[in-house]
Amino acid sequence: MNAEINKDFIFNYFSGKTSALQKQMVDEWVKKPANEAVFYQWLMEFEYQHPQYIADVPKAISHFQSFADQFDENPTSLPYKNRFQSPVRRPLWAWLVAASLLTGLLLGGWVFRNNFIYQTYTTSFGETESLILSDQTQVTLNANSSLRVPRFGFGIKTREVFLAGEAQFSVTHQSNNQRFLVKTNNGLDVIVWGTKFTVFARQRGAKVVLNEGKVELRYHEGKKRKQLMMKPGDLVSFDQTNKPKQEVTKQPEKYTAWTEHRFVFDDTTLEEFAHIMEENYGIEVIIDDKNLAQRTLVGSFRADNADELLEIVTEIFDVKMKKQDKKVWLSVERNKADGV
């Protein structure tokens, strides 16, 4: 079949009106760098004309990146070999296409534009995940967390990621001294130049622990934009008003114990434990007794799931536990309450 591949042909392809043979023709046609640029331009135009059409963008991008893996002989035409290898420089037209697509996405106000611009890694309750970004930075995501990484230009023009939740980073140093930036929803920016650190950024506050290297924190306190430099061993905590508290910890590694399914408690109250259970496992722990809520726990414990951790804590405190769906009630038996 020698059908001409033009805009109408590609629009039929987007609409799912092409045959298996015609789809194969498009797959072969889009392998050429110049055709790839046109393909994305027409995709943007098609989406603008058909707002009711919701494309599976991550699947489409993954599909065409799989084509890239087949062409070692022309690496400069490809964005990445894969996410585990260093990025290669794209030609100018590729960046122009990316810019035009970004402009179209913003103007169109598509609900899925972030899926197109960013690769998002997420973990569910009770799950951790290890990643290697295209600049060889190693990331371990804690439970109930997400990390957004730009699909285009990461490691070349910028190294800026967006974290919601908690993650450990081991950032590689670049020959051009390009900084690595972690942005959070708390308004906290962590700027690094090759280092190992942990960022906690959830609704109840934020925390940064520096293991190695150099880190600069930028944050809002009231209406003022401030900055703070950290040294290895520093722990900086922020409350909900973004007021920082800087201290030195002799064991920064205990703040990453969760990467090995360990929980380190250092005078941790049961009230704080309740926050940990909700953030990591989606379980609401209810403690009606205020005295019980302020009792503290010290020690390091390994638990592979929520039930194991609850069993350990209730046994240590010798308290009763009632569980229903995603709620747990902790209480002291009446004949023991006087001794609490």
How long is the chain? 340
* Better-scored residue on pLDDT, 43 or 123: 123
Tokens at residue 134, please? Answer: 């295209």
Does residue 189 share a domain with residue 58? no
- Give the range of the structural domain holding residue 90, as residue numbers without chain letter: 1-111
Does residue 69 share a domain with residue 175? no
Does residue 169 share a domain with residue 154? yes
Chosen domain end from 204, 237, 257: 257
Distance set, CA 112 to CA 36, 59, 305 (Å): 21, 12, 33
Of residues 172, 176, 242, the one with CA closest to residue 205? 242
* Better-scored residue on pLDDT, 152 or 103: 152
Does residue 253 share a domain with residue 283? no
Dist CA 188 CA 332 (whole Å) = 40
Residue with tokens 């899926």: 115
Does residue 316 share a domain with residue 295? yes
CA atoms within 13 A on the CB side of 185: 13
Q: Which amino acid is at 308?
A: E
CB 274 within 8 A of CB 244: no
Dist CA 111 CA 109 (whole Å) = 6
* Number of separate domains in the chain: 3
Predicted TM-score of the model (pTM): 0.65
Does residue 87 share a domain with residue 35? yes
Least confident of 14-18, 47-51, 60-64, 259-263: 60-64
Whether the per-residue pLDDT at 131 is higher than 70: the answer is yes
* pLDDT at res. 191: 93
Does residue 86 share a domain with residue 42? yes
Does residue 28 share a domain with residue 107? yes
Whether the per-residue pLDDT at 138 is higher than 70: the answer is yes
Dist CA 289 CA 218 (whole Å) = 39
Does residue 267 share a domain with residue 219? no
Least confident of 88-97, 126-135, 268-277: 88-97
The average pLDDT across 1-11 equals 77
Whether the per-residue pLDDT at 55 is higher than 60: the answer is no
CATH assignment at residue 323: 3.55.50.30
Most confident of 35-44, 162-171, 221-230, 258-267: 162-171
Residue with tokens 């150099």: 214
Of residues 193, 188, 237, 234, the one with CA closest to residue 213? 193
Does residue 148 share a domain with residue 211? yes
Chosen domain end from 111, 145, 165: 111
Does residue 213 share a domain with residue 158? yes
Q: Identify the band that residue 338 occupies on the pLDDT scale cut at 50, 70 and 90.
A: low
The average pLDDT across 232-244 equals 90
User: Which H/E stretch holds residue 226?
Assistant: strand 224-230
Q: What is the mean pLDDT of the chain?
A: 80
Dist CA 328 CA 311 (whole Å) = 12
Sign for the CA dihedral angle at 336, 337, 339, 340 comes to positive
Q: Identify the band that residue 35 occupies on the pLDDT scale cut at 50, 70 and 90.
A: confident
CB 116 within 8 A of CB 151: yes
pLDDT in tens, 297-327: 898 999 999 999 999 999 988 899 999 989 9
* pLDDT at res. 59: 59
Does residue 249 share a domain with residue 129? yes
Chosen domain end from 234, 257, 280: 257
